[in-house]
Chains A and B, each alone.
Chain A
Amino acid sequence: MSESSIKAELAALRQAAIEDIEALSDAEMRQELESECGNVDAHLCGLKSAMRDAAAQALRDQLIVAKTKVQGASDRSVVVAKVRPTIETIKRLITELMRARPSVGLAFRDGKKQTDEDWQTTYDDLVEMGLLKSQDNDHRP
């Protein structure tokens, strides 16, 4: 039997199963999930959290690809912030950028506490990608 005909069979079973699921009431779905997972609300929180993480990871991957393209597309040296502003200035600049572009915040923070080194590395990356302008005052090496 060919792969396509097996897939068609599985698709038909799936379609019937989906029709059944679509006919379930809220209470029926909750009852089914409760018998499997116990605390349905906690389970759904976990589901949403995992989807959130998947979105964050996909965004990080996109930014890495974009960064690679930027580095590869230019024949000139990529401008790297050899001299950085103070850590306080770095935090302010990045926080302002994240407010203006939440997707950047999602990719780089993901709710975790950042060390000073994390902030500095993030600053360097954002300058390289052209999302922040290199600050050449209020700096120390």
Chain B
Amino acid sequence: MEQETALGERLATADEIRAAIEALTSTELMRLELIARTYIPGSDYQSGQEVLNEAVKRAIEGCGRKTGRHWPIDRVDFAAFLLMTMRGLASDSRQSELMTKTDSLDSDAQLSTAQVLDKLGFHTPEVEQQKIDLEDEIADEAAAEQRRARAKADADKIEGFFADDQEVAWLVLCLKIEKMPSKARDEAGLSQTQYETVRRRMRRGLTKLFPGRSTK
């Protein structure tokens, strides 16, 4: 069954995704893994591998369905699609496909449970049980609090790690304030070359702090 975007772009099938995985070059894999590791701080993921696997899982789940991630195969190459998918995972953690679906519900407080379920794509005969499951999940503040605590702990860990490297600590502070690397560079008063050198040291420090290698 062929899927299309609203613009009429063809979306990849599961077989095409599988073939694209096999076709990934060494360069693409290296870059994907290094980037995947940057999503570890503040998340449930323990390794770049896990982040990549989750991106693949979401892509397969999107095939033939409205939910999940959709790859417009004729417009976007597979490595770029995986990068975009990983970016989408950044605000979730591993078990939060539900969180992704409920992100848009914050402003929909007046919807009934049935309307919420419809919005989330629950159309199965076991809807009554799923209503209960959904309400339990949404009400699970303990899990949400854990995520907040983990994000804060990781942010504090980063600050502490670079305490003895003034240049990196300064860049980290500027990034936290400005939120955009280009503005942070200007704020830090660094030339492009200095910025790139300090940035490299920061990234390598983050890799040491969150090694992100699979324990397998």
Contact = CB atoms under 8 A, between A and B. Distances in A.
Interface in A33-56: 33, 36-37, 40-41, 44, 47-48, 50-55
B149 to A, nearest CB: 9
Nearest to A10: B42
In terms of DSSP, what is the predominant structure of the interface of chain A? helix
Contact of B148 (A6, A24, A29, A48): A6
B42 A6 contact: yes
Contact of A12 (B18, B24, B91, B184): B184
Contacts of A103: 13-15, 18
A64 interface: no
Contacts of B42: 6-7, 10
B61 to A, nearest CB: 6
B169 to A, nearest CB: 12
Contacts of A7: 42, 90-91, 151
In terms of DSSP, what is the predominant structure of the interface of chain B? helix
A16 B184 contact: yes
Given A11-B179, A23-B196, A17 B203 contact: yes
B147 A3 contact: yes
B24 A48 contact: yes
Interface of A: 1, 3, 6-24, 26, 29-30, 32-33, 36-37, 40-41, 44, 47-48, 50-55, 57-59, 62, 68-69, 72-73, 102-103, 106
Given A12-B175, A16-B199, A62-B60, 8 more contacts: A11-B90, A19-B181, A40-B30, A44-B26, A50-B214, A62-B14, A73-B125, A102-B15
